[in-house]
Structure 1
Amino acid sequence: MSSLIRQLARRTLPATVSSPRHVIQLNVVRRVPASRTYASRSKAKSTVSFVPGSQLRFDSEDTRAEYAKTDVKMTSVVDWFRKEVAALETRASGRVTPTLLSPVRIERGRGQTVKLEEVATVGIKDGSVLIVTVFDEQNTKAVEQGIYNAKLPHIVPQRLDSRTLKIPIPKPTVEARNTLVITTSRMAEDVRVQLRKHHQTSVKKGKYEKHSVELEEFQRLSDRHIAEVDKILAQTKKATGSK
């Protein structure tokens, strides 16, 4: 089960996110708090009190466009992280769903492959057994082989009849849950690094003055997305009973 989690964590990331398997090589980056206070000549300003992005009053159209563009990039990174963590959590929690077989590809000859859902349906029996029903019994052998080829740990198909396969799913181990937390933590730090890079790129491009509203708003944007990453990680730890 734990090796499956590691395998999923190595899946291809979007262009804006570096692969989690390289996270170990990264220098430890200091965690950015959900909000940050900046000193000014008059009075310190907290990013928490800033207006929403839809109400920003930037003087420059270019600045507004850059802000929106950066927000989209950051949202994409966080959404990717949320989706990957959900997939890892499903497997480590022991919840049996058809998505456990989503990596499976079936060979149709001449190098052509299709998704499992295109040649079969996947159901659940007794809460712990996946039932694969092939549309055409001529494809049963290919489906069975495709499941083996996916090399999903603890996923072993058993034939019930000419069109049906059953796959008992074992309960998750403590090791699997611990691996989930470790993997998620590494992914979270990688995502934080990407968010900071987007923030720094936008700020450098704008060449804004020190203590300017623009700098404060871009920092607030970065803080908000990093806080969302922290929240996802905290929820994962809580779900697995980790601290």
Structure 2
Amino acid sequence: MINDIKADAEKHMKKSLEALSAAFNKIRTGRAHPAILDSVTVNYYGQETPLKQVASVNVEDNRTLTVSPWEKNLIPTIEKAIMSSDLGLNPATSGDIIRVPMPMLTEETRREMVKQAKADAEHARVSIRNARRDANSMLKELEKEKEINQDDLRRGEEDIQKLTDRYIAEVDKTLKSKEEDLMAV
């Protein structure tokens, strides 16, 4: 029973870490990376479809992505979808390929992105702490109903705290890495 609660808490903590990763992918650095366009969807025969399902996205050089649609008639639609996304990118078409240059980041833009990354990391930490709180309250409920004793409660809370510490350290490590990536010129 205690193991189920710990497993559930760990599952929620992992999801928080995955959500943080997804949020960090949306924060672009000066370098081109295909994951930047993961959030872009294209109107494909009346359906909103992720870009990577209608085209291949590759890195041409450090500062340029290339998007090769599988159907030529999608080129204007893809171009419009990239422009209307909140990524601040301006694609340019040349023949069958859409080139997406990554604009240089100013110092001010970098600082704003670091602030955003810190806010996303704090959101992940709060989510992890909420998972800990929920697990601890379930353990206390079990102890209150006399299904576990105080020693089991204390051990369970210690284990959940260790899990929490491990996942928060992972968030901090991921944030540090993203900050270094953003501040590199």
TM-score by length of 1: 0.62
| Structure 2, unpaired ranges of 5+ | 144-149
Answering whether residue 130 of structure 2 is matched by residue 197 of structure 1, we say: yes
Equivalent residue in structure 2 for 1:230, among 154, 159, 172: 172
Per-residue CA shift, 1:75-111, capped at 9, x if unaligned?
22123223422442xx12x1112223222222234x3
Distance 1:206 1:169 in 2: 50
| Structure 1, unpaired ranges of 5+ | 1-61
Which residue does the alignment assign to 2:84? 149
Contact 2:26 2:39 in 1 (8 A): no
Distance 1:99 1:213, change over 3 A: closer
Equivalent residue in structure 2 for 1:187, among 120, 124, 128: 120
Aligned residue-pair number: 175
Per-residue CA shift, 1:210-243, capped at 9, x if unaligned?
883222222222222222222222333344459x
- The SS at the match of 1:189 is helix
Q: How much does 1:178 deviate? A: 0.8
Higher helix share: 2
Counterpart amino acid of residue 67 in structure 2: V
Distance 2:72 2:13 in 1: 46
Equivalent residue in structure 2 for 1:104, among 29, 37, 40: 40
Distance 1:168 1:203, change over 3 A: closer
Contact 2:117 2:179 in 1 (8 A): no
Per-residue CA shift, 1:162-203, capped at 9, x if unaligned?
x23222222222122211221122222222222222112211
Answering whether residue 97 of structure 2 is matched by residue 170 of structure 1, we say: no
Counterpart amino acid of residue 231 in structure 1: K
- The SS at the match of 2:39 is coil
Which residue does the alignment assign to 2:94? 160
Counterpart amino acid of residue 105 in structure 1: T
- The SS at the match of 1:212 is helix
Distance 1:206 1:72 in 2: 17
Counterpart amino acid of residue 94 in structure 2: L
Match runs of 1:107-146 below 5 Å: 107-109=43-45, 111-146=46-81
> What percentage of aligned pairs have identical amino acids?
26
Distance 1:85 1:151 in 2: 14
Distance 1:103 1:196 in 2: 27
- The SS at the match of 1:221 is helix
Which residue does the alignment assign to 1:21? none
